[in-house]
């Protein structure tokens, strides 16, 4: 496990694979596997529950910090920061983008069924499937609720594949589209008013809370952060959640998630399966958005460039940039970035809703 932590540190520092989270995850992995350090004691959380009575017997530092993961605090705080950093204007200007973001979540449910077929329990399969949403905080939130023993390998898989978006997505995008489709130029998006931007997070929160209460925690935090940004009346709070709060929470989240990666839970065949299934989940999600865009083009007058469908996974803004790059390879005068941001931010909402659906059935 010490060797694995050194490898992840190398990937984070030298190769810069999602270093903001992979570096603290790797160092947390190092801390928990140092002989005799006693910083993290898995028996305190055995059976998926917090054994409060055992904390008095000498819990380690990481045991206390891990409570933020176990109680679902850290992912929600990060969602507030993500909301404050996200501009939903492309989605509001082109509501069809919401469908593309939803289609990309097909990878989550397809992988859920595949994982059950491979012998995983339903709660474990749901945690593995959420990797397909390419949303690290959502994956951590759902896994901490349904399958905490798999938190280490799922977090590593989720953030590793998010870093590999520019490697994984382009072959799928080129394989499912023709050069003519990749060259489609889309109409310029309309200007979105501030009133629309303010109404959007309030409406989304209310609708999700009424239809799918289990998703309200993540969606509510995301939209709270966005309302701070768009209202213009709490600029100091908006900057705080984007920077100081986000950075502090990221450190605690990464270290404690890494601390769960003990030899017992990480060095097994199950971890290899999770890594393999995770890349399938991500690939199917990418393909789902592209194929829906192609299908929609059969019925609409103003065609959609199918490349923006791949941005339906919630790796913001990396997936949108990949759509832009691939579009310009087909036609250097084609600018898809703002169009791709619509499905991209819709994917953030979609993955949180998908997690809520799974939690409502299995939680």
pLDDT, tens digit (0-9, with 9 covering 90-100), for 99-135: 999 998 998 999 999 999 999 999 999 999 998 887 8
pLDDT at 297 over 90: yes
pTM: 0.91
| Residue that has been written with the tokens 């990949």 in this structure | 322
- pLDDT tens, position by position, 215-254: 999 999 999 999 999 999 999 999 999 999 999 999 999 9
| Residue that has been written with the tokens 């694995």 in this structure | 4
Cα–Cα distance measured from residue 118 to residue 253, given in angstroms and rounded to the nearest whole number: 30
For residue 141, give the nearest of 201, 82, 211, 215 by alpha carbon: 215
| Interacting residues of 47 by C-beta distance below 8 A, sequence separation 6+ | none
Cα–Cα distance measured from residue 215 to residue 200, given in angstroms and rounded to the nearest whole number: 17
- pLDDT tens, position by position, 307-320: 999 999 888 889 99
Cα angle value 147/119/265 (rounded, 5°): 40
- pLDDT tens, position by position, 53-106: 888 778 899 999 999 998 899 999 999 999 999 999 999 999 999 999 999 899
Cα–Cα distance measured from residue 72 to residue 207, given in angstroms and rounded to the nearest whole number: 22
Mean pLDDT within 37-65: 86
* pLDDT over 90, % of the chain: 72
For residue 179, give the nearest of 297, 339, 305, 304 by alpha carbon: 305
Structure tokens at 276: 């393999």
């Amino acid at each position: 496990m010490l060797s694995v932590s050194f490898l992840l540190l190398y990937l984070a520092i030298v190769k810069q694979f999602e270093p903001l989270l992979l570096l603290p995850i790797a160092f947390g992995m190092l801390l928990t596997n140092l002989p005799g350090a006693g910083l993290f004691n898995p028996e305190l959380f055995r059976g998926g529950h917090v054994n409060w009575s055992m904390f008095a017997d000498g819990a380690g530092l990481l045991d206390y910090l891990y409570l933020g993961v176990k109680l679902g605090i850290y992912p929600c705080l990060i969602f507030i920061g993500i909301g404050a950093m996200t501009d939903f204007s492309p989605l509001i200007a082109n509501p069809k983008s919401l469908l593309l973001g939803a289609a990309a979540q097909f990878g989550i449910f397809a992988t859920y069924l595949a994982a059950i077929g491979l012998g995983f329990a339903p709660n474990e399969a749901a945690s593995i499937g959420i990797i397909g949403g390419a949303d690290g905080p959502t994956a951590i939130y759902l896994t901490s609720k349904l399958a905490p023993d798999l938190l280490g390998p799922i977090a590593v898989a989720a953030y590793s594949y998010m870093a590999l978006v520019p490697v994984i997505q382009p072959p799928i995008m080129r394989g499912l589209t023709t050069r003519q489709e990749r060259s489609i130029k889309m109409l310029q998006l309309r200007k979105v008013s501030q009133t629309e931007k303010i109404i959007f997070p309030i409406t989304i929160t209310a609708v999700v809370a009424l239809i799918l209460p289990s998703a309200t925690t993540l969606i509510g935090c995301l939209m709270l952060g966005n309302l701070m940004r768009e209202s213009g009346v709490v600029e100091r709070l908006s900057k705080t959640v984007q920077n100081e709060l986000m950075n502090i929470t990221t450190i605690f989240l990464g270290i404690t998630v890494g601390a769960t990666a003990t030899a017992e839970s990480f060095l097994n065949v199950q971890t290899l399966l999770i890594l393999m299934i995770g890349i399938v989940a991500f690939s199917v999600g990418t393909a789902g958005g592209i194929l829906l865009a192609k299908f929609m083009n059969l019925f609409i007058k103003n065609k959609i460039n199918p490349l923006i469908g791949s941005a339906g996974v919630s790796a913001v803004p990396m997936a949108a940039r990949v759509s832009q790059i691939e579009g310009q390879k087909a036609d250097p005068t084609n600018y898809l970035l703002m169009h791709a941001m619509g499905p991209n931010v819709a994917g953030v909402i979609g993955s949180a809703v998908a997690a809520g659906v799974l939690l409502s059935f299995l939680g």
